[in-house]
Amino acid sequence: MQLELKDIHKSFGDKHVLRGMSFTVNTGRAFGLLGRNGSGKTTTARIILDVFRPDQGEVLLDGKRLESDQSRFGYLPEEKGLYPKLPIVDQLIYFGQLRGMTKRAATEAANHWLEVVELSHEKTRKLETLSKGNQQKVQLICALLTDPDILILDEPFSGLDPVNARLLKTIVTEEVAKGKLVLFSSHQMAEVETFCDDIAILHDGTIALSGRLSQIKRSYPQDKVELRILQDGRLVPQPEMLRIVSDLAPERALAEAVGDDLVSLKFQGESERRPFLTTLLNAGYDVDLYEVTVPSLAEIFVETTTKGASHG
């Protein structure tokens, strides 16, 4: 399956939130829609879910206009909310039924998922008595209950401890493997980085950057390295290293202290990288570390969303 958003425009009053946004999500790959607070991620989710109609543009599923059939969607909203005063299993069944399941099917699915997320023993408790992480898990079940084709998870990691975050990743990875179309929206870069295959960065109402995450990273110039030097079995302290670098390559490399004995070098071009290593070795230095630094997703994100620059 392929979900395609084409040239979506949406305004609220005089606030033009989306200005010709387009991206494509494919089955079998976790997709991360990234953006700063208020960039329009939730609006995009709501447009896909047919809560909002776009002012312009269309949402296509396998090339056809998307019908508003709620049972095909699983949605985990950013603003988490269920009935605080009702037993969790009751409301899960209710939401299953609202999405078109029979009561029996909804009950079975609810019990199954409560088992999976280890909440079976809490199922008759009121939602408000559960911890925030457990409430989040109930919310996730709500999204998975109908075995939907398309999963939209808005900030799924917020409020989860590392153990629960891993549980969530396992569940979602399984869903992706089952051939579900999974769309994340998040501003937690670390989680997205370890998890999503494809990303799109939403900025100023359009997709400023999109594609396969590994390729995006590759596309950035490989002109930065981290350097550590050994001398007589000891690590050379960082001020000493800065002096060595400026002695050997005053023009070609910009050195910057990173730690007590770690220095980051930025070359004028990728081609400068190897010759400098040769220079270092020829000068008789024992190079302990010389590693190309790939920009982290966070860095790419900050660069993309603060400068408004488009890249890749």
Q: Which residues bind other proteins (CB under 8 A)?
A: 46, 49, 51-52, 70, 73, 75, 77, 79-84, 86, 94-95, 97-100, 142
Output the six-digit token pair for 21.
């946004």
The residue (of 53 and 121) whose beta carbon lies closer to other proteins is 53
State in angstroms the smallest separation of the CB of 161 from other proteins.
22
- Would you say 301 and 245 are in contact if contact means Cβ atoms under 8 Å apart? no
CA distance 24 to 4: 4
CA distance 76 to 81: 10
Phi, psi of 29 (to 5 degrees): -135, 130
State in angstroms the smallest separation of the CB of 95 from other proteins.
6
State in angstroms the smallest separation of the CB of 298 from other proteins.
28
The residue (of 80 and 228) whose beta carbon lies closer to other proteins is 80
The residue (of 94 and 290) whose beta carbon lies closer to other proteins is 94
State in angstroms the smallest separation of the CB of 77 from other proteins.
4
Provide the β-strand partners of residue 202: 35, 207
The residue (of 95 and 195) whose beta carbon lies closer to other proteins is 95
State in angstroms the smallest separation of the CB of 35 from other proteins.
18
The amino acid present at 240, given as its one-letter code, is E
- Would you say 57 and 6 are in contact if contact means Cβ atoms under 8 Å apart? yes
The residue (of 97 and 206) whose beta carbon lies closer to other proteins is 97
Question: Could you give the C-alpha distances from 41 to 151, 153, 195, 293, in angstroms and in order?
Answer: 15, 11, 18, 30
